[in-house]
C-alpha cells in the first residue's frame, strides 16, 4: 500500500525519481517542468500524466512562472509537491502556498554540499569518504529546510561522478518514497 496522497512532481532532469514513484504505485497526478525536452517530461508524456510546461522564457519573472505553476497544480488537486531534480528556486509565494507540503531530494548529506546541481561533483572533488542523499522539507532557505530522511553512501577509491551518482540515486529511490509515507502519516494524524 502506498500513501493516499495526490502528488505533483517538479522535475528538470532525467526523471528516474519520477519513474520510481510511478512504478511503485504513487498517485502522481501532475508533472511540472521548466525543461520540456527533459527525460522526466518525456516519461510523463509516455505514461499520460498531465504535464505542465513552465519554461522561464515564457514568463516575465520567476514569481509569474511560479504563480502559473501553482494555479496549474492546485487545479489538479495536488496535495504534496515533490521536487525530484527540479533545478529552479521556488518563489516565496509558491513555498508558502504549499507550506510543509513540498519536499526535495538532494544528492548529498545536507548541510554538506548544499545549493546548486553539482553536489556529487563537489563531494568527489572534496575527497569526502562518505556522502549520500537527503530528503527535506522545502522552505525559503535553499536546501536548508527540516530534514526528513538521509542515506549514507561510501565513496570508493576509483569512483567517478557517474558511478557515485548512480549509487546515490539507488538510495534516493528508497528514501524518497519513505519520506512521502512519513509526510502522509503525519498529515493523517493531524487531521484526526
Residue whose C-alpha cell is 525559503: 140
Q: Least distance to ligand GRF from the beta carbon of 20, Å?
A: 8
Residue whose C-alpha cell is 548529498: 108
Q: How far apart, in whole angstroms, are the C-alpha atoms of residue 43 and residue 14?
A: 9
Q: Is 13 in the site for ligand GRF (CB under 6 A)?
A: yes
Q: How far apart, in whole angstroms, are the C-alpha atoms of residue 87 and residue 68?
A: 17
Judged by beta carbon, residue 8 or residue 15, the one nearer ligand GRF is 15
Which DSSP state fits 28? E
Name residues contacting ligand GRF, limited to 115-134 (CB under 6 A). Answer: 133
Q: Is 17 in the site for ligand GRF (CB under 6 A)?
A: yes
Q: Least distance to ligand GRF from the beta carbon of 191, Å?
A: 30
Q: Is 84 in the site for ligand GRF (CB under 6 A)?
A: yes
Q: Which stretch binds ligand GRF (CB under 6 A): 15-23, 56-64, 144-152, 155-163?
A: 15-23
Q: What does the CA dihedral 58, 69, 171, 145 come to, rounded to 10 degrees?
A: 110
What contacts 158, CB < 8 A, 6 or more positions away? none
What contacts 48, CB < 8 A, 6 or more positions away? none
92 catalytically annotated: no
Q: 165: which 3 cell numbers?
A: 551518482
Q: Which stretch binds ligand GRF (CB under 6 A): 24-32, 64-72, 73-81, 104-112?
A: 104-112
Which parts of this chain interact with ligand GRF (CB under 6 A)? 11, 13-17, 40, 84-85, 105-107, 133, 169, 172
Please give the positions annotated as active site. Answer: 106
Amino acid at each position: 500500500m502506498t500513501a493516499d496522497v495526490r502528488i505533483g512532481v517538479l522535475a528538470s532532469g532525467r526523471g528516474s525519481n519520477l519513474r520510481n514513484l510511478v512504478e511503485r504505485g504513487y498517485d502522481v497526478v501532475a508533472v511540472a517542468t521548466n525543461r520540456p525536452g527533459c527525460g522526466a517530461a518525456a516519461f510523463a508524456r509516455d505514461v499520460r500524466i498531465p504535464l505542465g510546461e513552465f519554461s522561464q522564457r515564457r514568463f516575465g519573472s520567476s514569481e509569474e512562472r511560479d504563480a502559473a505553476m501553482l494555479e496549474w497544480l492546485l487545479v489538479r488537486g495536488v496535495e504534496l509537491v515533490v521536487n525530484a531534480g527540479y533545478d529552479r528556486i521556488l518563489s516565496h509565494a509558491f513555498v508558502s502556498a504549499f507550506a510543509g507540503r513540498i519536499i526535495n531530494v538532494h544528492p548529498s548529506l545536507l548541510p554538506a554540499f548544499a545549493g546548486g546541481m553539482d553536489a556529487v561533483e563537489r563531494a568527489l572533488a572534496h575527497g569526502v569518504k562518505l556522502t549520500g542523499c537527503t530528503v527535506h522539507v522545502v522552505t525559503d532557505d535553499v536546501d536548508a529546510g527540516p530534514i526528513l530522511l538521509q542515506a549514507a553512501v561510501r565513496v570508493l577509491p576509483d569512483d567517478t561522478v557517474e558511478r557515485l551518482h548512480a549509487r546515490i540515486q539507488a538510495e534516493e529511490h528508497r528514501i524518497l518514497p519513505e519520506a512521502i509515507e512519513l509526510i502522509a502519516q503525519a498529515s493523517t494524524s493531524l487531521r484526526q
